[in-house]
Amino acid sequence: MSISENIRKQMNDSSWIRKMFEEGIILKEKYGTENVFDLSLGNPNAEPPDKLKSVMNSIINNDEKGLHRYMPNAGFQDTRKSIANNINSETNLNFTEEEIIMTCGAAGAINVFLKSILDQDDEVIIISPYFAEYLFYIKNHNGIPVISRSNKDFLPNLEDLSKKINNKTKAILINSPNNPSGVIYHDEIIKQLGLLLEKFEKKYEKSIYLVSDEPYRKVVYEKKCPYIFNFYKNSVVVTSFSKDLGLAGERIGYIAFNPKISNKSDLIDAAIFSNRTLGFVNAPAISQRIVKELQDSVIDITFYKSKRDFLYKELIRIGYKCILPQGAFYMFPKSPIKNDEKFVQILQSKRVLVVPGVGFGTPSHFRISYCVDDSTLEGSIKGFEEAFNEI
């Protein structure tokens, strides 16, 4: 045995991802890529805002020395300041650069924060449906993921949540707008969540962090996504520019700590240390300079909205049951048969690739990524219709 038993187990637990991926490759080889409708990946396909080119040109043409060197592990001060100002424009809190740490994407931000707070067997609660990688991120730092269910509307079920909180609970990790459901956690639910956590903080005489993963904050259609900061003191946002600026490959994100968070300087020092020692060292320098200039920019939201509207209308016409997503670029319909893995296989036989809900801790559903070309989306409808009519 040459590899870690732990990793082997985790790879086996997620083998459905590999299986799905491999079956996709076989189908594409057999029928040609253009005849397979792959809606399984969340790779944002909107191009970055036009301003990116001029910003990159000015970075490239800057003759200043030391542009590509290491910087403080938290990141460039001016970039952090520009992000703090952007958050201040939407909250009444006074963020400064001190409360922002630049990271390698939201994934880096989550890992840095979890590394900084978790001791062996501490628990982190996640709400199903959840982003599948959370399970591994929590285990990366010797934590235990605890799953709490949501209501029919995919908002947290607070009764269930309160049963899951105990003396070992270190954090609740939420995600809004949500991957896979597209649901936004509204003001009222965050307020109630905050009140609940305050009650448990008192009971157990310790901090319980509310961590909100928000890479889709600006990818919203009718409603805005509220910030958690005004509802709960011990709150942290982990996020990135992967989706709202279309920079997923450039690995740039940040952690924002509530300016009123308990033990602030200790916590921030720990996160800066973790950013360094997890081997990230610092977020990429060029990406930091880019996002500093793009705080007011966002990809063309209508690009995803028209895909959402088209897909939703078609699925409802066929007879699928689905909540209209308010943000992100995923849809999470109910599987017409209880066994979602079986239904995903039926869709595969129609050359449509989606992800079973079991992967998000919510069986009997399946996830569709609609961040694909219009032709792929349009081409998939026939398969959705045939599969629905077949069962």
Ligand X SMILES: Cc1ncc(COP(=O)(O)O)c(C=O)c1O
Nearest-angstrom CA–CA distance, 196 and 176: 18
Nearest-angstrom CA–CA distance, 28 and 385: 21
Choice between 137 and 388, CB closer to ligand X? 137
Using DSSP's 3-state secondary structure scheme, residue 126 falls into strand
Choice between 175 and 348, CB closer to ligand X? 175
Nearest-angstrom CA–CA distance, 388 and 343: 9
Q: Name which position in 143, 156, 253, 383 contacts ligand X (CB under 6 A).
A: 253
Q: Is 340 in the site for ligand X (CB under 6 A)?
A: no
Choice between 95 and 241, CB closer to ligand X? 241
Nearest-angstrom CA–CA distance, 295 and 283: 17
User: Which residues, 6 or more positions from 138, have their beta carbon under 8 angstroms from its beta carbon?
Assistant: 114, 118, 124, 126, 144, 145, 173
Provide DSSP, 352-363.
EE-EEGGGGT--
Q: Name which position in 128, 169, 175, 282 contacts ligand X (CB under 6 A).
A: 175
Nearest-angstrom CA–CA distance, 304 and 216: 12
Between 1 and 40, how does the x/- string for binding to ligand X read (CB under 6 A)? Answer: ----------------------------------------
Q: Name which position in 75, 143, 156, 215 contacts ligand X (CB under 6 A).
A: 215
Q: Is 177 in the site for ligand X (CB under 6 A)?
A: no
First to last CA, the chain: 44
- Using the contact rule CB under 6 A, the part of the chain among 82-90, 240-248, 275-283, 346-354 near ligand X is 240-248
Shortest Å, Cβ 111 to ligand X? 9
Q: Is 359 in the site for ligand X (CB under 6 A)?
A: no
Shortest Å, Cβ 251 to ligand X? 7
Q: Is 146 exposed, middle or buried (0-12, 13-18, 19+ CB in 10 A)?
A: middle
List the interface residues with ligand X, window 56-115 (CB under 6 A).
105-107
Shortest Å, Cβ 252 to ligand X? 8
Shortest Å, Cβ 45 to ligand X? 13
Query: Angle at CA 211, nearest 5°, toward 104 and 269?
Result: 60
Q: Is 116 in the site for ligand X (CB under 6 A)?
A: no
**Binding site residues, ligand X, CB under 6 A:** 42, 105-107, 131, 175, 179, 213, 215, 240, 242, 248, 253
